[in-house]
Amino acid sequence: MPQPLNSKDQSLFRQVVRNFEQKQYKKGIKTADQVLRKNPKHGDTQAMKALIMSHLGQLEEAFVLAKEALRNDMKSHICWHVYGLLYRQEKNFDEAIKAYRFALRLDPESQPIQRDLALLQMQMRDFQGYIQSRSAMLQARPGLRQNWTALAIAHHLSGDLEEAEKVLTTYEDTLKDGIPPVADMEHSEACLYKNTIIAETGNLERALEHLEKIGYRCTDVLAVMELKADYLLRLGRKSEAEEAYTALLERNPENSVYYNGLIQAKGIPETDHKALKALYDEWVEKNPRGDAARRIPLDFLEGEDFKQAVDAYLQRMLKKGVPSLFANIKFLYSNSAKRDVVQSLVEGYISGKAGSQANGSAEGKQDNNEFLTSTYYFLAQHYTYELSRNLTKAMENVDKAIELSPKAVEYQLTKARVWKHHGNPVKAAEEMEKARLLDEKDRYINTKAAKYRLRNNENEKGLDLMSKFTRNETVGGTLGDLHEMQCVWFLTEDAEAFLRQKKLGLALKRFHSVFNIFETWQEDQFDFHSFSLRKGMVRAYVDMVRWEDRLREHPFYTRIALGATKAYLLLNDQPDLAHGPIANGPNGTGVSEEDRKKALKKAKKEQQRLEKIESDKRDARKAAAANAKSQSVDGEVKKEDADPLGNTLVQTKDALKDAMKFLTPLLELSAQNIEAQCLGFEVYIRKNKYLPALKCLSAAHAIDPSNPTLHLQLLQFRKTIDSLTDALPAEAAEVIDTEFEKLLPKSQNLEEWNESYLSANKNSVAHIQAAFLTRRLNWPLWTLPTVTIEEAVVALERLSKWGSDPTAYAEKASKKWPESSVFQLN
């Protein structure tokens, strides 16, 4: 039962609330204790104290106290509200919603509780609940426009477009003094929002009509233009669409989407190159300094037309010394005829075949020099690129460019790239370091240099380079700042470098860091559920909500999810790796038990040594912090990472279960990624989950039925299913029978199947390799001249995985690729 407070304590309690609101947390706790000394069982005070504690980083203790508060006063809405807020902090949103609901039942009129509930419902995409909450809030304050807009958003996102539009219209009808002034952005945005809802119903006629009515007075001018052009084109109102896209291009002639729109509107067929070229030429004339209208025709022009156009384009850009010229051109190379034309033209410029040049004057000579260096630079990139690779020529050209212009960062950078493609990450990192030294104040080149260190598995050197541009005094130093600034690229590269070295603890640590950054990004939307309503930019808000729902489809996520899954698979197959990299091949690779134990002991010792170093560092920092009282400005205490080496992660009891955390969103949002499906199979088959494993196979098969990894997995699945000792449940067996039959029929002779796969793919190293691997043979790849160094590296890794002696293989590879370092064993 609630304890009544005397009036003095009551005013003290109100002060606790004030303290909390003003973030005077320590004061708040003191005041609360004052109340509790006389009223030890006062639930509301206990709850407020718990809430304050949670803001001081004592969430666990706060929960204990909040539960006690509830026991003392089950009927207090404050206690339930606080309980919900604590759950929210813990990100247990379902429980938080329940607690808020209790609180609201006890105090149905409370605006703050209603609002907190609504925000969470939105965060959890409980649209029906959100509609209810928003309806209640609208009833409480119907004069506020944002309450109407919010209800419309609730209906819209729940899929009820009609109701959403109706709510917006109802509000518009209440504007009795006519429409708000032109400068009223909230109104303008609400109108445009309604317009996009109408368009979503599919009734574009009505959307266009509505846009004509409101568009002239909307503040977002460009949006109105883009909407209009899109509607007109979809409606097939060609001549108006043409006008609309022309208007857009006049604002911004560097957007290929607008050109597409214009061409569709004009109805120019894709094959009418002449008409297309004429159209682009017109825009070149209007914007002589632009790039798009010059560049796009190179995509469709052929033969002599192409040659002329690309010649003019190349010469112009080379004279200007545009560093991105090659990046702009290389997409043409999937057409080998175009690639050859470009190559012979540019080689020709070197031998003086460029149009108007060299007029003898000093200035002319200077220009000519610049033209020549740009040309060497172009050729260096050209011969590095995979579709036109000749690394010897690449090196010659880059050296000439550097000779003429030794201070140019780009040229030195390209030299490092050439070494990278030689399969020599050691030299690549060294050359990139030289590039960095040419401009130490430029972060871009610093970034590259750090990345190349990581590619060479030099994690510490990479981090050290990063420290030149980070705040190193933050908790956790450089690495801490990179985490705080969400530097996804670095954490990913760092993780992959650790994975290559089989340092699984650290690799997992970094993969998890990126995973957590994605969680933060998802959490980030929370504040905007209220913020955006105040700002009125509701279209952008709705776009954000929809984007958040597919956040993890981002390639940044795909990459770390694939990496983490590989790390967990490795850990599952070779549990010894939990103690760090094992020198002579861990368990499961055919090494004698005695050697294995020796290596394991050594690894464990090394692990302990590293842990000791970290804990010493931690103690030193703690001591320093105690002296300097290093609390950050906003009063929140930043905790030291208790497991900087990822040892807790790597010593998991169930690596496959942990892998699922990464894999599930991956399979859901990147279902079209064949590597994801193949990895999914690897995890499921190890868990003996045959149905999901088969689902991955079917998905992979639908993407690319001849994928080499899939080929191996089909065989593995067949053999696994055939050799099962315990019968599967009837239903599962039936599904597998019918579904797998489509991929690899039971009646199929497996050897014939493998042979026909081999003959169908006899020009691809990876495919042949797969066919050989079905017999557990490493095929001598040299027989196919197209073999790449990357493919040879994969084969080498496989040899070590099998525990075979790779020496002979590595020697042979070294001879074939003499500039490489990756085949030097030690």
Partner 1 sequence: MVDIVPLSSYPSYIDLLPSIQTCNITNLPENYFLKYYLYHALTWPQLSFVAVVRPKNGYNTGGTGAGIAGDVSGQYPKVVGYVLAKMEEEPADGKPHGHITSLSVMRTHRRLGIAERLMRMSQRAMAESHRAHYVSLHVRVSNIAALRLYRDTLGFEVEKIESKYYADGEDAYAMHLKLESMWMDWKAVEKRDRAEAKKNKKEGEDGADDEEDDADEGDAVGDLGKAEQNGEKMVNVKIGRALGVGDLVEKSDVQS
Decide: helix, strand or coil at residue 508. helix
Taking the C-alpha atoms of residue 441 and residue 693, their distance in angstroms, rounded to an integer, is 51
Q: Which of 43, 84, 129, 261 is in the footprint of partner 1 by CB under 8 A?
A: 261
Q: Which of 319, 400, 539, 566 is in the footprint of partner 1 by CB under 8 A?
A: 539
As measured in angstroms, the least distance from the Cβ of 358 to partner 1 is: 23
Binding to partner 1, residues 727-786 (CB under 8 A): none
Taking the C-alpha atoms of residue 449 and residue 437, their distance in angstroms, rounded to an integer, is 10
As measured in angstroms, the least distance from the Cβ of 459 to partner 1 is: 18
Q: Which of 102, 521, 681, 690 is in the footprint of partner 1 by CB under 8 A?
A: 521
- Residue placing its CB nearer to partner 1 in the complex, 277 or 801: 277
Q: Which of 553, 606, 611, 675 is in the footprint of partner 1 by CB under 8 A?
A: 553
Q: Which of 27, 41, 101, 217 is in the footprint of partner 1 by CB under 8 A?
A: 217
- Residue placing its CB nearer to partner 1 in the complex, 252 or 706: 252
Question: Applying CB under 8 A, does 476 fall inside the site for partner 1?
Answer: no
Binding range to partner 1, per CB under 8 A, among 55-63, 351-359, 541-549, 751-759: 541-549
Question: Applying CB under 8 A, does 537 fall inside the site for partner 1?
Answer: yes
Decide: helix, strand or coil at residue 520. helix
Binding range to partner 1, per CB under 8 A, among 155-163, 252-260, 589-597, 766-774: 252-260
Binding to partner 1, residues 398-427 (CB under 8 A): 409-410
Question: Applying CB under 8 A, does 392 fall inside the site for partner 1?
Answer: no
Question: Applying CB under 8 A, does 525 fall inside the site for partner 1?
Answer: yes
Find out whether 83 and 66 touch, Cβ atoms under 8 Å: yes
**H or E element in which residue 164 lies:** helix 161-173
- Of 253, 255, 180, the C-alpha closest to 219 is 180
Binding range to partner 1, per CB under 8 A, among 385-393, 531-539, 575-583, 687-695: 531-539
Binding to partner 1, residues 78-97 (CB under 8 A): 81
Taking the C-alpha atoms of residue 249 and residue 246, their distance in angstroms, rounded to an integer, is 5
Rg (CA), the chain: 33
The alpha carbon of residue 277 and the mean position of all alpha carbons in its chain are separated, in whole angstroms, by 37
The alpha carbon of residue 468 and the mean position of all alpha carbons in its chain are separated, in whole angstroms, by 25
Binding to partner 1, residues 338-377 (CB under 8 A): none
In the numeric block, the tokens 């000394």 are attached to: 37
- Residue placing its CB nearer to partner 1 in the complex, 226 or 430: 226
Binding to partner 1, residues 428-457 (CB under 8 A): 441-445, 447
Binding mask 314-343 for partner 1 (x = CB under 8 A): ------xxxxx--xx--x--x---------
Taking the C-alpha atoms of residue 524 and residue 514, their distance in angstroms, rounded to an integer, is 15
Query: How does DSSP classify residue 586?
Result: -
Q: Which of 377, 511, 541, 823 is in the footprint of partner 1 by CB under 8 A?
A: 541
Binding to partner 1, residues 192-211 (CB under 8 A): 196, 199
Q: Which of 556, 772, 779, 802 is in the footprint of partner 1 by CB under 8 A?
A: 556
Burial class (CB in 10 A: 0-12, 13-18, 19+), 776: exposed
As measured in angstroms, the least distance from the Cβ of 23 to partner 1 is: 8
Binding to partner 1, residues 622-661 (CB under 8 A): 634
- Residue placing its CB nearer to partner 1 in the complex, 228 or 509: 228
Decide: helix, strand or coil at residue 619. helix
Binding to partner 1, residues 18-47 (CB under 8 A): 21
- Residue placing its CB nearer to partner 1 in the complex, 538 or 710: 538
Query: How does DSSP classify residue 423?
Result: T
- How many residues in the shown chain lie near partner 1 by CB under 8 A? 105
Question: Applying CB under 8 A, does 388 fall inside the site for partner 1?
Answer: no
Binding to partner 1, residues 267-296 (CB under 8 A): 289-292, 295-296
- Residue placing its CB nearer to partner 1 in the complex, 98 or 330: 330
As measured in angstroms, the least distance from the Cβ of 117 to partner 1 is: 12
As measured in angstroms, the least distance from the Cβ of 315 to partner 1 is: 15
Q: Which of 64, 182, 247, 624 is in the footprint of partner 1 by CB under 8 A?
A: 182
Find out whether 754 and 772 touch, Cβ atoms under 8 Å: no
Query: How does DSSP classify residue 333?
Result: G
Taking the C-alpha atoms of residue 193 and residue 185, their distance in angstroms, rounded to an integer, is 12
As measured in angstroms, the least distance from the Cβ of 612 to partner 1 is: 33
The alpha carbon of residue 259 and the mean position of all alpha carbons in its chain are separated, in whole angstroms, by 29
- Of 57, 120, 114, the C-alpha closest to 88 is 120
Binding to partner 1, residues 684-713 (CB under 8 A): none
- Residue placing its CB nearer to partner 1 in the complex, 1 or 183: 183
Handedness of CA 295, 296, 299, 300 (dihedral sign): negative
As measured in angstroms, the least distance from the Cβ of 633 to partner 1 is: 8
Distances (CA, A) of 416 to 426, 470, 607, 823: 10, 24, 34, 19
Question: Applying CB under 8 A, does 174 fall inside the site for partner 1?
Answer: yes
Find out whether 429 and 458 touch, Cβ atoms under 8 Å: yes
Binding range to partner 1, per CB under 8 A, among 254-262, 301-309, 600-608, 769-777: 254-262
Q: What are phi and psi of 786, to 5 degrees?
A: -80, 0
- Residue placing its CB nearer to partner 1 in the complex, 703 or 793: 703
Find out whether 646 and 506 touch, Cβ atoms under 8 Å: yes
Binding to partner 1, residues 112-151 (CB under 8 A): 112, 115-116, 142-145
**DSSP string across 657-684:** HHHHHHHHHHHHH-TT-HHHHHHHHHHH
Indicate the length of the chain as a whole number: 826
- Residue placing its CB nearer to partner 1 in the complex, 2 or 321: 321
Amino acid at 168: L
As measured in angstroms, the least distance from the Cβ of 546 to partner 1 is: 8
- Of 492, 484, 482, the C-alpha closest to 455 is 492
Burial class (CB in 10 A: 0-12, 13-18, 19+), 638: middle
Q: Which of 357, 530, 651, 716 is in the footprint of partner 1 by CB under 8 A?
A: 530
As measured in angstroms, the least distance from the Cβ of 261 to partner 1 is: 3
Q: What are phi and psi of 141, to 5 degrees?
A: -140, 80
Cβ partners under 8 Å of residue 239, min gap 6: 265
Taking the C-alpha atoms of residue 409 and residue 334, their distance in angstroms, rounded to an integer, is 29
Question: Applying CB under 8 A, does 109 fall inside the site for partner 1?
Answer: no
Q: Which of 4, 269, 555, 785 is in the footprint of partner 1 by CB under 8 A?
A: 555
In the numeric block, the tokens 């990464």 are attached to: 662
As measured in angstroms, the least distance from the Cβ of 576 to partner 1 is: 36
As measured in angstroms, the least distance from the Cβ of 59 to partner 1 is: 19
Find out whether 82 and 47 touch, Cβ atoms under 8 Å: yes
As measured in angstroms, the least distance from the Cβ of 608 to partner 1 is: 35
As measured in angstroms, the least distance from the Cβ of 345 to partner 1 is: 19
- Of 295, 268, 273, the C-alpha closest to 283 is 295
Helix then strand count (H, E) for the chain reads: 44, 0
As measured in angstroms, the least distance from the Cβ of 578 to partner 1 is: 32
- Residue placing its CB nearer to partner 1 in the complex, 481 or 576: 481
Question: Applying CB under 8 A, does 186 fall inside the site for partner 1?
Answer: yes
Find out whether 711 and 757 touch, Cβ atoms under 8 Å: yes
Binding range to partner 1, per CB under 8 A, among 172-180, 656-664, 683-691, 738-746: 172-180
Distances (CA, A) of 332 to 198, 382, 393: 41, 12, 20
Question: Applying CB under 8 A, does 809 fall inside the site for partner 1?
Answer: no
Question: Applying CB under 8 A, does 387 fall inside the site for partner 1?
Answer: no
Question: Applying CB under 8 A, does 300 fall inside the site for partner 1?
Answer: no
